[in-house]
Amino acid sequence: MTQGTTEASLSSLNELVAGGGVAVLSGAGLSTESGIPDYRGPTGRSRRAEPMTYQRFLGSAEARQRYWARSHVGWRQIGLARPNTGHLAVAALQRHGLVTGIVTQNVDGLHQAAGAREVIELHGGLDRVVCLSCRERSPRAELDRRLRAANPGWAATSDVVNPDGDAVLSDAQVAGFRVVDCAACGGLLKPDVVFFGENVPRPRVEQCFAVVERARALLVLGSSLAIPSGLRFVRRAAALGVPVAIVNQGPTGGDAHARLLVDAPLGVTLSGLARRLGAQ
C-alpha cells in the first residue's frame, strides 16, 4: 500500500487514473471547500450533529415542523453553494474519458453543477421534494417559494448548517414556523433524500454496484466510509480485485481495502491530477 502525500503517492495516483476506467465514489469531504461542512471530517468534528431520522419525521408533526424550519434556512446556504476545484476536476476527468462513472453520497448537486454527467445520487438530492402519498416530485425552489409565502416575516438565521441542509435553530425560532403540504394531494412532503433509518432503493444500489463492477479502478474522494452505505462499494471492489485509491483528510473505514491512500485537501490534489493528465 502507498500512503501519504509524498511525490510517490501522487505519482501512484496519477498512474492509476491515467489508465482510465475509473469509478468515483464521493462524500461530504469533497464539498467542504464549497462551504458545506461534513459530519465526520475536519469541519464536522467540532459539532454534534443529530440528523433527522425517517421514523421521527413520519411519526411527529412537531419533528416535521422542526425539520422544515431548519431545512428552509439551511437550503439558502446549500442552494447558493458553487462547485469547487475538486468538483470541476472530476468533471474534467470525465470529459477526458478517464472517469467512467460517478456515485456520490452527497445531496448538494455540485457534481452536476460542475458539468459532470450521469451522476448517481446514492442518497438523493436536496433540490427536489417528494410527496409521501402521491409520490409526485417537485423542485425545491417551488417549495421554497411556498414556505416563504406561508411564513411572512419569519426571518430566522443560523451560523451552523449541516451537510444535509439542516440548520441549527432555537426552539423559539422553530415555534412559529408553518409547514406546507403537497399542492397536488395534501400529503406529507419530504426532501427527496434518504434519511437515517431509511433504506436506499434497491435498484439504485444495484446501479451503483454495476458502476463499481465495470470499473478498472475505484477512486474514493472525501468520504470517511464510516457507514455501510458507501463502504459496501469499496468492499465489493476489493473483493473483485479492483484497485481502490482513497483521497481524504484523515483515516477512513475503507483504508484496509485500499491500495493507495492520499491524506490531502481534495481541491488542490484533484486539480493537480487533472492538470497532469491533460484534462484541464
Q: Is 123 a catalytic residue?
A: yes
Q: Is 77 annotated as a binding residue?
A: no
Task: Single out the residue of 212, 249, 251, 203 nearest to residue 230, CA to CA.
Answer: 212
Could you tell me if 104 and 119 are in contact, meaning their C-beta atoms sit under 8 angstroms apart?
A: yes
The single residue of 72, 87, 123, 257 carrying the catalytic annotation is 123
Q: Is 144 annotated as a binding residue?
A: no
Q: Is 266 annotated as a binding residue?
A: yes
Q: Is 182 annotated as a binding residue?
A: yes
DSSP readout, 65-97? HHHHHHHHHHHHHHHH----HHHHHHHHHHHTT
Q: Is 208 annotated as a binding residue?
A: no
- Sheet with 189-193, edge to edge strand ranges: 137-139, 124-131, 189-193
**Which residues touch 35 (CB under 8 Å, ≥6 apart)?**
77, 81
Beta bridge partners of 129: 138, 191
Q: Is 223 annotated as a binding residue?
A: yes
Q: Is 253 annotated as a binding residue?
A: no
Q: Is 126 annotated as a binding residue?
A: no
Q: Is 267 annotated as a binding residue?
A: no
Q: Is 248 annotated as a binding residue?
A: yes
Q: Is 250 annotated as a binding residue?
A: yes
Q: Which residues form the catalytic set? A: 123
Task: Enumerate the known binding-site residues.
Answer: 105-108, 131, 134, 182, 185, 222-224, 248-250, 266
Residues placed in the known binding site for NAD(+): 105-108, 222-224, 248-250, 266
